[in-house]
Chains A and B, each alone.
Chain A
Amino acid sequence: SQTIHQWPATLVQPVGSPLSLECTVEGTSNPNLYWYRQAAGRGLQLLFYSVGIGQISSEVPQNLSASRPQDRQFILSSKKLLLSDSGFYLCAWSVLRGRGQPQHFGDGTRLSIL
């Protein structure tokens, strides 16, 4: 069966520090991968999605970047964190077969910027 792992679960970082969040998927090949951010009490905002190694699409301009160095690995990064980067970051995957596929979420990383 397929599983998705995210780490760390919780992170507290000072403003201006770098960030690296990692997500890996097991049990499937060529998944679509997604990074979402959820502000406190808010909905899910799609940040990046990837349909293959090295293929990243950004949904919103921001202080963050994403990379997909391997088929089942998705990394969210920042060179300098801002206070507004605080939130709950969720990685998700879906089968790479076009539309109508459910997305499955990892447990998320709760990021607090001080």
Chain B
Amino acid sequence: QQPVQSPQAVILREGEDAVINCSSSKALYSVHWYRQKHGEAPVFLMILLKGGEQKGHEKISASFNEKKQQSSLYLTASQLSYSGTYFCGTEGGSQGNLIFGKGTKLSVKP
């Protein structure tokens, strides 16, 4: 089952904050976050493992609530370089395969 991402799109001014949510109907072992800029390949941001840990990457952090089967990506003090489409990939099986959400398009304006 494909995870559901919300919102589908968000427009920010430089310096504003945003939260992107990823929700699954299945029990999860891990949640992965990727950013894809237009015409490019997705780039790995971070992975959150079962255990509810929170991780950070520059001014981007994420949390994972395994009981609720949800993860959230937090972007603080957004920069122009944060623009792109953010995908969550959920892992529940034994093979390490990911099921990706449809993505959240983030546009940061000056």
Contact = CB atoms under 8 A, between A and B. Distances in A.
Interface residues of A, number: 24
Interface stretch (A11-19, A39-47, A62-70, A71-79): A39-47
Contacts of B97: 34, 46, 49, 59
Task: Report the interface size class on chain B.
Answer: 20 to 34
Contacts of B44: 102-105
A42 B32 CA distance: 18
A101 to B, nearest CB: 6
Interface of A: 32, 34, 42-46, 49, 51, 57, 59, 90, 94, 98-108
Given A45-B100, A57-B95, A103-B98, 6 more contacts: A43-B2, A98-B94, A99-B91, A100-B91, A105-B44, A106-B41
